């Protein structure tokens, strides 16, 4: 019932129903939140009555009364949307306390310190969350009292001193808001409920939703729950843990707890949390396993039950009151990509989930994290400090102290590391833009750690030996003093922080990785190829499991220092002989290029696209280059300058490029086709493998264009076969990247052996949107819902996708055997891949590093 009750409410209800110890409570549904916003911030008429009835049921269950002066019921008011939004929404604890009920609580519990501690916590939370008093006002007063009392730890403060703090807090509230702190528990309750609904629309929540594609109309639920107390003494505690290690996925109970503490104390970093398991504890630590053995044993039982019930790793929050365990939250735990992988595979092997579920459990895009570099173990390094290994990977960048500056510098293409004492939801946008995050305070479940893991950012948390001075913009550790802008390197796998930039090495594809890939390969239908033209890229692609090359962009091969001169001569030559000489000089280079691709791909299909971009891209820019070419061609510099001007275009992307070029200068395509066929024959002879080259003609809009270029290519092929005294199988196909080509695909298919949808250009030409110029308005469109997503990242299913579907269907109507693929950026985007699966394409082709992502996404799409 997650949609109605929110994640927290639904899971609390579910835990209660499977017999786990959950304090009684009720949930105000997400529908109320939506109704509230739809009706000008007003509640449904019957809400008050229903809340009163539900509250009464808690009173009965607890044997306490809300607002009662002798034995008061206290509640927490907790937000909870459908999906967890860490730190976004606000929770108020100990609600129902006032000057009278606090005395009742002191008497009924026999612990005045606990009662007054709870009361000051309540004013502090309610004051900031509901009444908008800046949190640090309370913190400052508390710090000051601790100094006066000369105590370090909150738990050492007496009832009397807390009483003074409470008075001080009330004054702060009055001073800051002009209002008295509310004493009526009913007013407190409704104030808190309204604050939760109000926080759904606060800017932080808004940012988080935008970053995570969460619609605003989902709304949040509000949970009202009887309080249990972890701050009632040494046999009480509160903690946050994961049923498995969320960094590595290891099957060990993992988390942190604090004795005699409440709520957010564990993550707030005020006291140092202790580990759960004795196995993971250092000598000076006090693991829960030995300190509270009974509650720990109960928690182990709960851990097992929860994993069996939810069949996934859980992130749980609990409180122990007088040695009795209470469960306060469970949810699917956020994890690193490595952990997601390990947990999915382990759980499939443990029989908790099926292999197919395991495939579905790993978000394809997260594989990126595993394919990223780690520190080179042999690289020289100077360690600056060590913190907690909060989110793995290696990241180097310049030190930046604010989220705003991170965004600015990242926008300029700089690598930066966000360095904070601790992070808060205000920093999320900066964490997103940074290479990595370093905090000096907070544990493995701190805001920085949780958010960074979710985003796949490298994070070292709680590096306590580092001193950060925001004002001076410095970071000090031991004898090192670094300034903003200086470089550091983070190792999120070990928690180490290094001075400067440390060398990295490419990732090793672990056993779990290849296991999952194997399972994915078994179920997927779509083939996965790579876009590659260099031997390096082709090798990477194969290592990542590419089943061929879907796009080799030959123009990328024209830029090498040994060839660009010939390319320029070819373009600038004003007489056929000079052009022919330049083209002949290029032939051996191209033949070698293609031969090495055929060798690396050993028999797998290789699609080679003939020259595509407008010629002026290859032209000499500087004067010296112009002079050089003039000399080589024996032409005047003036003539060349005129030629350069003649070739330049107002709108090159819609200009003289693609097959239009092949039609105007047939010699260029003829040379490329010759190079491809000669290379294929050469490598076939060398290896005995049947090489089936796929020649691809770009930017075809009309069948006549393909007729013409195909015929010219076939003549060259025939000539090569005759010269070589052999033949081999080959395909000639076309890109579909113009709307006209998609619309007339039935005709074009008559002369094409395959189609490859060039969805980058197809997106530009369908939307009339230049990718290079869209930056000034496209982000606005996406932010404001005019477009659901950036259409260059994820295919515009209705528009561009509609053309792909039309092209595929009409092409196959003419030629059922037509091979269909896609080679735009979309070929590596999981959402787009799901669409291509629906359309029934044969393969996707993407950049080498996206190949594993595409394999997994294709498997998920097939399931």
Q: Which residues are designated catalytic?
A: 447, 823
Question: The tokens of 766 are what?
Answer: 């369908």
- The interface mask with ligand ADP, positions 272-311, x = CB under 6 A, is ----------------------------------------
Which of helix, strand or coil describes residue 514? Answer: helix
Q: List the one residue from 98, 161, 225, 504 that touches ligand ADP (CB under 6 A).
A: 225
DSSP 181: P
Give the range of 246-254, 315-323, 334-342, 637-645 binding Mg ion by CB under 5 A. Answer: 315-323
Selected from 78, 524, 568, 674, the binder of ligand ADP by CB under 6 A is: 78
**Which listed option, ligand ADP, Mg ion, none, makes contact with residue 274 (CB within 5 to 8 Å by class)?**
none
Q: Toward ligand ADP, which CB reaches closer, 84 or 756?
A: 84
Which range of residues in 313-321, 395-403, 741-749, 753-761 is near Mg ion by CB under 5 A? 313-321
- The stretch among 224-232, 598-606, 639-647, 679-687 that binds ligand ADP (CB under 6 A) is 224-232
237 lies in the binding site for ligand ADP (CB under 6 A): no
| Per-position DSSP letters for 415-452, written without gaps between them | -EEEEESS--GGGHHHHHHSSEEEESS--TTSHHHHHH
> Does position 443 bind ligand ADP by CB under 6 A?
no
Q: Which is nearer to Mg ion, 85 or 347 (CB)?
A: 85
Q: Which is nearer to ligand ADP, 295 or 671 (CB)?
A: 295
Of residues 256, 317, 678, 796, which one binds ligand ADP by CB under 6 A? Answer: 317
Contact region with Mg ion (CB under 5 A), list: 309-317, 394-402, 639-647, 649-657: 309-317
705 contact partners, CB below 8 Å, separation of at least 6? 659, 660, 663, 697
Among 128, 220, 319, 355, binds ligand ADP (CB under 6 A): 319
User: In whole angstroms, how close is the CB of 349 to ligand ADP at the nearest point?
Assistant: 32
Token pair belonging to 115: 């009662």
Return the one option of ligand ADP, Mg ion, none that residue 319 interacts with (CB less than 5 to 8 A, by type). Answer: ligand ADP
Q: Could you tell which of ligand ADP, Mg ion, none binds residue 691, using a CB distance below 5 to 8 A set by kind?
A: none
Residue with tokens 């006291």: 271
Identity of the residue, 329 or 366, whose beta carbon is nearer to Mg ion in the bound complex: 329
Which lies closer to Mg ion via its Cβ, residue 289 or residue 317? 317
Closest CA to 746 of 694, 696, 816: 816
Which lies closer to ligand ADP via its Cβ, residue 447 or residue 579? 447
In the complex, the smallest distance separating the C-beta of residue 328 from Mg ion, rounded to whole angstroms, is: 7
Q: Which does 93 bind (CB under 5 to 8 A by kind): Mg ion, ligand ADP, none?
A: ligand ADP
Beta carbon of residue 267, minimum distance to ligand ADP (angstroms, whole number): 8
User: Can you point out the beta strands (E) in 189-334?
Assistant: 220-226, 237-242, 254-259, 274-275, 314-321, 324-332
Using the rule CB under 6 A, is 227 a contact of ligand ADP? yes
- Among the listed residues 145, 137, 49, 65, the one whose alpha carbon sits nearest the alpha carbon of residue 108: 65
820, 755 in Cβ contact below 8 A? yes
Is 445 labelled a binding residue? Answer: no
**314 sits near ligand ADP (criterion: CB under 6 A):** no
With a CB cutoff of 8 Å and minimum separation 6, the contacts of 214 are 81, 82, 83, 85, 208
Is 737 one of the annotated binding-site residues?
Answer: yes
Can you tell me which of 328, 532, 706, 854 binds ligand ADP, judged by CB under 6 A? 328
Q: Which of 112, 21, 747 has its CA nearest to residue 326? A: 21
Strand (E) or helix (H) holding 354: none
Residue 133 near residue 127, CB atoms below 8 Å = yes
Question: What is the distance between the alpha carbons of residues 45 and 47, in angstroms, rounded to a whole number?
Answer: 6
The pair of three-digit structure tokens given for residue 770, joined into one six-digit string: 């230049």
Residues 6+ apart with CB under 8 A from 171: none
- Provide the mask over 329-368, with x wherever binding to ligand ADP is found by CB under 6 A and - wherever it is not: x---------------------------------------
Taking the complex as a whole, the smallest distance from the CB of residue 239 to ligand ADP amounts, in Å, to 8
Q: Which stretch binds Mg ion (CB under 5 A): 42-50, 52-60, 310-318, 348-356?
A: 310-318
387 annotated as belonging to a binding site for a ligand: no
Please say whether the dihedral angle defined by the alpha carbons of residues 191, 92, 139 and 153, taken in this order, is positive or negative: positive
C-alpha closest to that of 291 among 240, 243, 233, 245: 233
Work out how close the CB of 76 gets to ligand ADP at its nearest, in angstroms, rounded to a whole number: 3
- Would you count residue 228 as binding ligand ADP (CB under 6 A)? yes
Given ligand ADP, Mg ion, none, residue 763, with its beta carbon under 5 to 8 Å by kind, binds none
260 contributes a contact to ligand ADP by CB under 6 A: no
Two structure tokens written together for 792: 């260059």
Q: How far is the CB of 3 from ligand ADP (least distance, A)?
A: 18
Of 227 and 629, CB closest to ligand ADP: 227
95 in contact with ligand ADP (CB under 6 A): no
C-alpha to C-alpha distance for 423 and 402, rounded to whole angstroms: 10
Query: Which residues ranging from 16 to 55 are in contact with ligand ADP (CB under 6 A)?
Result: 23
Q: Does the annotation flag 758 for ligand binding?
A: yes
List the single partner that 328 binds among Mg ion, ligand ADP, none, CB under 5 to 8 Å by kind. ligand ADP
- Beta-sheet strands, E only, within 523-643: 527-531, 549-553, 606-609
Q: Which is nearer to ligand ADP, 226 or 551 (CB)?
A: 226
CB 761 within 8 A of CB 828: no
Among 91, 569, 607, 763, binds ligand ADP (CB under 6 A): 91
Residue 759 binds: one of Mg ion, ligand ADP, none (C-beta under 5 to 8 A by kind): none
What is residue 178's DSSP assignment?
Answer: S
For residue 180, what is the DSSP state? P
Name the packing angle between helices 637-647 and 564-572 (round to 10°).
90
Instruction: Assess 238 for contact with ligand ADP (CB under 6 A).
Output: yes
Pairing state between β 474-477 and 467-469: antiparallel
Check whether 217 is labelled as a binding-site residue.
no
272-300 burial string, b = 16+ CB within 10 Å, else e? ebbbbbeeebeeeeebbbebbeebbebbe
Distance (Å, rounded) from C-alpha 99 to C-alpha 184?
10
Rounded Cα gap, residues 314 and 8, in angstroms: 12
Residue 329 sits in the site that holds Mg ion (CB under 5 A): yes
Give 284's contacts (C-beta < 8 A, 6+ positions apart): none
Name which of 362 and 431 has its Cβ closer to Mg ion.
Answer: 431
Q: Give the dihedral of Cα atoms 107, 113, 116, 122; nearest 10 deg.
A: -120
Among the residue ranges 226-234, 331-339, 434-442, 704-712, the one whose residues contact ligand ADP (CB under 6 A): 226-234
413 annotated among ligand-binding-site residues: no
Stretch that binds ligand ADP, among 221-229, 271-279, 340-348, 704-712 (CB under 6 A): 221-229
| Closer by beta carbon to Mg ion, 201 or else 627 | 201
Q: Among positive and negative, which fits the CA dihedral 696, 700, 703, 707? A: negative
- Residue 23 binding: pick among ligand ADP, Mg ion, none (C-beta 5-8 Å cut-off by kind): ligand ADP
Here the tokens at position 16 are 């209660």
The tokens for 78 are 């907790």
Cβ 464 to ligand ADP, closest distance in Å? 23
Yes or no: say if 460 and 390 are a contact pair by the CB < 8 Å rule: yes
The window from 12-20, 175-183, 222-230, 727-735 that contacts ligand ADP (CB under 6 A) reads: 222-230
Tokens of 509: 């594809």
254-259, strands of its sheet edge to edge: 274-275, 254-259, 237-242, 314-321, 324-332
Element (H, E) at 461: strand 458-461
Task: Report the binding-site residues for substrate.
Answer: 553, 609, 737, 758-761
Which residues make up the interface to Mg ion (CB under 5 A)? 317, 329
Which residues make up the interface to ligand ADP (CB under 6 A)? 23, 76, 78, 91, 93, 225-228, 238, 263-264, 317, 319, 328-329
Task: Report the binding-site residues for Mg(2+).
Answer: 737, 761
């Amino acid at each position: 019932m997650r949609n109605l009750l929110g994640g927290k409410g639904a899971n609390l209800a579910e835990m209660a129903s499977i017999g786990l110890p959950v304090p009684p409570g009720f949930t105000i549904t997400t529908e109320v939140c939506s109704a509230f916003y739809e009706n000008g911030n007003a509640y449904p008429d019957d809400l008050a009555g229903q809340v009163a009835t539900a509250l009464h049921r808690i009173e009965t269950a607890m044997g306490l009364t809300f607002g009662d002066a002798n034995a008061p019921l206290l509640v927490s008011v907790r937000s909870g949307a459908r999906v967890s939004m860490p730190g976004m929404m606000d929770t108020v604890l100990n609600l129902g306390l006032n000057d009278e009920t606090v005395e009742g609580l002191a008497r009924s519990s026999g612990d005045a310190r606990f009662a007054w501690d709870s009361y000051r916590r309540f004013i502090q939370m309610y004051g900031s969350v509901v009444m908008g008093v800046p949190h640090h006002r309370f913190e400052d007063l508390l710090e000051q009292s601790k100094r006066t009392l000369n105590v370090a730890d909150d738990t050492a403060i007496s009832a009397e001193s807390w009483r003074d703090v409470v008075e001080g807090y009330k004054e702060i509230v009055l001073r800051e808001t002009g209002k008295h702190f509310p004493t009526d528990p009913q007013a407190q309750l409704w104030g808190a409920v309204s604050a939760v609904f109000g926080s759904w629309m606060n800017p932080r929540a808004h940012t988080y939703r935008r970053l995570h594609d969460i619609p605003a109309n989902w709304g949040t639920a509000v949970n009202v729950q009887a309080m249990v107390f972890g701050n009632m003494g040494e046999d009480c505690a509160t903690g946050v843990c994961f049923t498995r290690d969320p960094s590595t996925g290891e099957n060990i109970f993992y988390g942190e707890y604090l004795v005699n503490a409440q709520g957010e104390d564990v993550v707030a970093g005020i006291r140092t949390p202790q580990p759960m398991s004795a196995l993971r504890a250092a000598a000076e630590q006090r693991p829960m396993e030995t300190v509270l053995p009974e509650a720990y044993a109960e928690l182990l039982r709960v851990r097992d039950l929860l994993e069996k019930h939810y069949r996934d790793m859980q992130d749980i929050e609990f409180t122990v009151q007088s040695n009795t365990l209470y469960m306060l939250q469970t949810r699917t735990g956020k994890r690193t990509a490595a952990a997601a992988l390990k947990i999915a595979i382990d759980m499939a092997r443990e029989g908790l989930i099926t292999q197919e579920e395991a495939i579905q459990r790993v978000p394809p895009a997260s594989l990126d994290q595993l394919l990223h570099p780690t520190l080179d173990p042999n690289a020289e390094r100077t360690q600056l400090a060590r913190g907690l290994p909060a989110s793995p990977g290696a990241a180097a960048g310049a030190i930046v102290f604010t989220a705003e500056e991170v965004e600015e510098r990242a926008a300029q293409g700089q690598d930066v590391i966000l360095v904070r004492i601790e992070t808060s939801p205000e920093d999320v946008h900066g964490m997103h833009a940074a290479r990595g995050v370093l905090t000096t305070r907070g544990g493995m479940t701190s805001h920085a750690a949780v958010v960074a893991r979710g985003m796949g950012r490298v994070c070292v948390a709680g590096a306590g030996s580092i001193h950060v001075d925001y004002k001076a913009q410095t970071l000090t550790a031991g004898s090192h003093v670094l300034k903003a802008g200086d470089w550091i390197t983070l190792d999120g796998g070990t928690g180490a922080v290094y001075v400067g930039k440390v060398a990295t090495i490419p990732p090793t594809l672990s056993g779990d990785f290849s296991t999952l890939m194997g399972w994915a390969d078994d179920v997927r239908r779509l083939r996965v190829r790579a876009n590659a033209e260099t031997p390096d890229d082709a090798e990477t692609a194969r290592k990542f499991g590419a089943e061929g090359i879907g796009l080799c962009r030959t123009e990328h091969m024209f830029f090498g220092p040994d060839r660009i001169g010939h390319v320029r001569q070819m373009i600038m030559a004003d007489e056929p002989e000079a052009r022919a000489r330049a083209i002949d000089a290029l032939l051996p280079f191209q033949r070698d290029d293609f031969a090495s691709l055929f060798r690396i791909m050993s028999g797998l299909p290789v699609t080679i696209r003939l020259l595509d971009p407008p010629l002026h891209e290859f032209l000499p820019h500087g004067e010296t280059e112009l002079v050089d070419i003039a000399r080589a061609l024996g032409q005047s510099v003036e003539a060349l300058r005129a030629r350069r001007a003649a070739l330049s275009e107002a709108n090159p992307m819609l200009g003289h490029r693609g097959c239009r070029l092949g039609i105007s200068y047939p010699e260029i395509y003829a040379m490329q086709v010759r190079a491809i066929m000669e290379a294929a024959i050469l490598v076939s002879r060398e290896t005995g493998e049947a090489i089936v080259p796929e020649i691809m003609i770009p930017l075809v809009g009309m069948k006549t264009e393909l007729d013409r270029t195909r015929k010219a290519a076939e003549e060259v092929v025939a000539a090569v076969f005759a010269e070589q005294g052999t033949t081999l199988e080959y395909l000639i196909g076309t890109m579909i990247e113009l709307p006209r080509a998609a619309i007339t695909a039935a005709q074009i298919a008559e002369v094409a052996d395959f189609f490859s949808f060039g969805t980058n250009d197809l997106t530009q030409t369908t939307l009339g949107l230049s990718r290079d110029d869209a930056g000034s308005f496209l982000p606005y469109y996406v932010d404001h819902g005019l477009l659901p997503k950036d259409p260059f990242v994820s295919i515009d299913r209705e528009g561009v996708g509609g053309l792909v579907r039309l092209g595929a269907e009409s092409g196959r109507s003419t030629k059922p055997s037509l091979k269909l693929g896609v080679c735009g950026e979309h070929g590596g985007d999981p959402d787009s891949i799901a669409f291509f699966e629906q359309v029934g394409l044969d393969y996707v082709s993407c950049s080498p590093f996206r190949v594993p992502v595409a394999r997994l996404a294709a498997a998920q799409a097939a399931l």
